[in-house]
Amino acid sequence: MYILGLESSCDETSAAIVRMDTDENGVCTREICANMIASQIETHRLYGGVVPEIAGRAHIEAVSRITYEALDTAGLTIRDIGAVAVTTHPGLIGALLVGVNFAKSLAFAQNIPLISVNHIHAHVAAAYLSDPELKPPFLALVVSGGHTQLYMVEDELTFRIIAGTRDDAAGEAFDKIGRVIGMPYPGGAALDKLAYEGNPTAFSLPSPALAGEQPDFSFSGLKTAALNLINGARQRGEEINRADLAASYTATIVHGIVKQTMAALKMTGAKTLVMAGGVAANSHLRSALTEACGRRRVKFVTPPLSLCGDNGAMVAAAGYFRYRAGLFADTALNASAADEM
Ligand code: KG4
Ligand code: ZN
C-alpha cells in the first residue's frame, strides 16, 4: 500500500509517500517513493532560532504544495493513497496543528484511514527504511533538537524507556554553543565540521553522562561550563579558539553518549542498536558508535543523513505499523506539544 506521511512539528514541512507491505510470512517490504522537504531554516536563521508563529505560518503556505509535489514525484494521484499518517506530538503546537488539520481534511475527503504518529517513534522508524532487514527487538538512541533518550523497542509499536536526559537535549546543547560562538542556526552541523579543525583535548568539560544506575544524561552543566569558558575569555579581552572549543565540546558529548549507550546495551542485552534523530547526522558520533558497536559485535543501524532530520518518510513508516495494527484516528484528532497525547 501507499501511505502519505506528513510532518510539521518544528521547522520543516514535509510530505512523503512510502510503499510498505507485509507478506504472509510477516516480511515487511519498504520503499520511499517521494520525500519532499520544505525547510524554514533560512527564515529562522535571522532570529537565531525557531520562531513558533513564523513556523506555523510557513507550514500553512507549504503543506498543500509539498503534498502535491510528493504525489507528482511518486507518479501517483491522491486516489492511490491508502492512508494518511501525520505527526501529532511532540512539537510546537501551532506547527503541529497545521499538519494535523491538513491530514484530517485529506483523510475525510478521500475517505481513507487517518493515523496519528509520535515524532520520536517516527525518527526511529526511519531506520526501517534504511535497513530492509531491521526488525525489533533493538535498543534505540534518539538524539534530536528536543530529545536525547534510549528506548528498548520491543516491537514496532512498543517503546520501553531505558534512560533519557534530565534537562536539555544534545541538539539544543550543540545549537546553543554554536550560536554563542557565531555559527549560523542550527549550530549542530556547523560545529560538526569545525570540530575537525580543533584539538579535542584543548578544554576539559563535564561529561553529560550522569553517574548512577540509570544511564541518564544531563547537558546543562556542560553547556554552562562551555559558556563560562567563552565568557571568561571575552572578559580577558581574548576570543576563545573556536575550533578547539568545537572539538572538545563535541568529543565530550560523543564520549558521554557512547558511554551511556554502551551501558544501556549491557543492561538490556540488545544485539542491535539504532541511532536516529537530527543529531544522528553528527559524523563524530556516527563513527564513534560504529566503532564501539563493532567492538561489542552489536549490529549498528543509523539512517542516511537525508532521513536523520525531520521528514515525512519516517512518519509514513511509523504510520504503516499503526495502520497494520488497526490503530486509526478519527476527525476528533488533536495535536499535543507534550511527549504523550
Ligand atoms: O530531529 P531534528 O531535525 O528536529 C527535532 O526533532 O528536534 O533535529 C534537529 C537538531 C538540531 O539541534 C541540529 O543542530 C541537530 O539536529 N543536528 C546536528 C547535526 N545536524 C543536525 N547536530 C550535530 N551534528 C550534526 N551534523
Ligand atoms: Zn525531529
pLDDT, one tens digit per residue, over 295-316 is 999 999 999 999 999 999 999 9
CA of 181 to the centre of ligand 1 (A): 17
Computed over its alpha carbons, how large is the radius of gyration of the chain? 20
pLDDT tens, 263-290?
A: 999 999 999 999 999 999 999 999 999 9
171 lines ligand 1 (CB under 6 A): yes
Distance CA 252, CA 258 (A): 10
pLDDT of residue 341: 85
The C-alpha angle with vertex 25 and arms to 20 and 28, in degrees rounded to 5, equals 20
Lookup result for grid cell 501511505: 3
**For ligand 1, mutation pick of 45, 176, 279, 289 (most atoms within 8 Å of CB):** 279
pLDDT tens, 98-129?
A: 999 999 999 999 999 999 999 999 999 999 99
Residue 279: which of 252, 302, 247 has the closest Cα? Answer: 302
pLDDT of residue 313: 98
If pLDDT is split at 50, 70 and 90, which confidence band does 75 have?
A: very high
CA of 175 to the centre of ligand 1 (A): 8
Residue type, 221: G
Return phi, psi of residue 150, to 5°.
-120, 125
If pLDDT is split at 50, 70 and 90, which confidence band does 146 have?
A: very high
**Statement: residue 15 has pLDDT above 90:** yes
Eight-state DSSP code of residue 322: H
pLDDT tens, 157-177?
A: 999 999 999 999 999 999 999
If pLDDT is split at 50, 70 and 90, which confidence band does 3 have?
A: very high
Mean of all residue pLDDT scores within the chain: 97
pLDDT tens, 82-92?
A: 999 999 999 99
pTM above 0.85, yes or no: yes
90 lines ligand 1 (CB under 6 A): no
Average pLDDT over residues 57-69: 98
Residue 273: which of 211, 66, 62, 263 has the closest Cα? Answer: 263
Torsion, Cα of 284, 290, 293, 298 (10° steps): 140
pLDDT tens, 234-260?
A: 999 999 999 999 999 999 999 999 999
**Statement: residue 327 has pLDDT above 90:** yes
The C-alpha angle with vertex 314 and arms to 108 and 80, in degrees rounded to 5, equals 40
pLDDT of residue 106: 98
Report which protein residue has its CA nearest ligand 1's atom 14: 188
10 lines ligand 1 (CB under 6 A): yes
Please write down the long-range contacts of 172-176, taking CB distance under 8 Å and 24 or more positions apart.
172/145, 172/146, 172/219, 173/208, 173/219, 173/222, 173/223, 173/253, 174/253, 174/279, 174/282, 175/49, 175/145, 176/223, 176/227
